[in-house]
Amino acid sequence: MKITMIALALLTCLPLPTWAYPAVGDKVTWSGNFKRVDGTDYNIKITKEVVGFDAKEMSWKVKVDAIMGQQKSSDIFETKDLYSPKQYKELLANCASKGGSLESLKLDIGQYQTCKLTTVAEDGTRIEKWWGDIPFGVISKTTRDSGQVAQTPELKAILTGL
């Protein structure tokens, strides 16, 4: 009994494991709807997954699967820079100075503290992104083209570090 109590006391003193990303196996899925000016709409599903890490090159391999209506695509790319908890903390601390706003975003899978940043492309397309503490960073994104057609994929699943 005494050993159990000591072990329990030691365990409560240890830090809880942190959610470390990026890591091979991280996988995030967003899904939503795209509406056209003519009134037609279709479903969107985008999945990003970290499928590898090259320690020699210090680069990540990321697979992106996208379904937009009947169109499907799959691509693998390599990058040396993936979104991290450090970048999230810096973005939150500097959100207002970057022209953003701090927002709490509640979705079906949880509630997130985010920095909402808005950009406008040369063609007038307005892109709003809510950046949070998850792999790849984007919790939600809304795109409105110059005709104000909305495309809003929402975060649906997070799988990390398998």
| pLDDT 10s digits, 31-73 | 888 777 677 888 889 999 999 999 999 999 999 999 988 999 9
Does the structure show a pLDDT above 90 at 1? Answer: no
Please state the domain extents for the chain: 18-159
Percentages helix, strand, coil for the chain (3-state, rounded to 5) are: 15, 50, 35
DSSP 8-state class, residue 17: P
**What single-letter amino acid sits at 145?**
D
What confidence category does residue 17 fall into, taking pLDDT thresholds of 50, 70 and 90?
very low
Q: What is the third-level CATH fold of 18-159?
A: YmcC-like fold (2.40.360)
Does the structure show a pLDDT above 90 at 74? Answer: yes
- Dig out the tokens for 120 from the structure: 């406008």
The pLDDT, as a whole number, for residue 103 is: 96
What pTM does this model have? 0.74
Residues in the chain: 162
The pLDDT, as a whole number, for residue 161 is: 46
Does the structure show a pLDDT above 80 at 19? Answer: no
- CA 69 vs CA 31, 38, 66, 140, 155: distances in Å: 11, 15, 10, 19, 18
Q: Over pLDDT 70: what percentage of the chain?
A: 77
| CB contact at 8 A, 137 and 131 | yes
Q: Among the listed ranges 24-28, 60-64, 77-81, 150-154, which one has the minimum average pLDDT value?
A: 150-154
Q: Higher pLDDT residue, 27 or 20? A: 27
In this structure, the number of other CB atoms found within 10 A of the CB of residue 12 comes to 7
Q: Among the listed ranges 15-24, 40-49, 56-65, 128-137, which one has the minimum average pLDDT value?
A: 15-24
